[in-house]
Amino acid sequence: MKKEEIPQDDGALNKLTKEVVYAVDSSGRYSTELSTGWDVKTKALDVAWEDIQKRIEESRQKVLRGEASPILYFMELRLMDMGIVSAYTGFWKWTIKRHMKADVFKKLTDEKLKKYAGAFNISVEELKTMTVHEQ
């Protein structure tokens, strides 16, 4: 793509950052340029975020029905997997999977709950009630 053809559409992140793209300058050499976004990419990101929002809501409903613990909800909300949660908490993956059961979660000690709360950057109370007060 030529330098003049770099898309400058309003992107999902255009207020936060710009994207570096490669373009051909007037002398035919590749150079890096900044783009505010590309409409096609923005639409693809929107679809991906819709999917993430569905997964978050599904996990919230599972917790409310007693099918899972709030750990599942916060893993989805924070875009984490068991490997990441394990690295933050020091718990084995199989232990986290067990803690994701509602009846097991209710019996967790405050010390274990504090580790999860720290990993999700929330308070223990927010963990227990599934409320999030973002800054």
Domain presence at residue 135: no
- On whether both 71 and 124 belong to a single domain, the answer is yes
**Residues 76-93 pLDDT 10s:** 999 999 999 999 999 999
Q: The pTM is what?
A: 0.76
**Residues 15-45 pLDDT 10s:** 667 778 888 888 888 888 887 777 787 788 8
Q: Work out the pLDDT band at 48, boundaries 50, 70, 90.
A: confident
State residue 13's pLDDT score: 61
- On whether both 100 and 75 belong to a single domain, the answer is yes
| Number of structural domains found in the chain | 2
- On whether both 120 and 56 belong to a single domain, the answer is yes
Domain containing 11: what range?
3-37
The burial class, CB within 10 Å (0-12 / 13-18 / 19+), for 89 is: buried
Q: Is the pLDDT of residue 59 over 90?
A: yes
CATH number reported for the structural domain that contains residue 58 in this entry: 1.10.260
Domain presence at residue 134: no
Q: Is the pLDDT of residue 67 over 70?
A: yes
- On whether both 20 and 70 belong to a single domain, the answer is no
- On whether both 75 and 100 belong to a single domain, the answer is yes
- On whether both 24 and 74 belong to a single domain, the answer is no
- On whether both 88 and 124 belong to a single domain, the answer is yes
- On whether both 120 and 83 belong to a single domain, the answer is yes
CB 102 within 8 A of CB 71: no
CB 44 within 8 A of CB 11: no
- On whether both 8 and 57 belong to a single domain, the answer is no
- On whether both 84 and 107 belong to a single domain, the answer is yes
- On whether both 59 and 98 belong to a single domain, the answer is yes
State residue 49's pLDDT score: 87
Nearest to 124 by CA among 71, 54, 57, 84: 71
Domain presence at residue 42: no
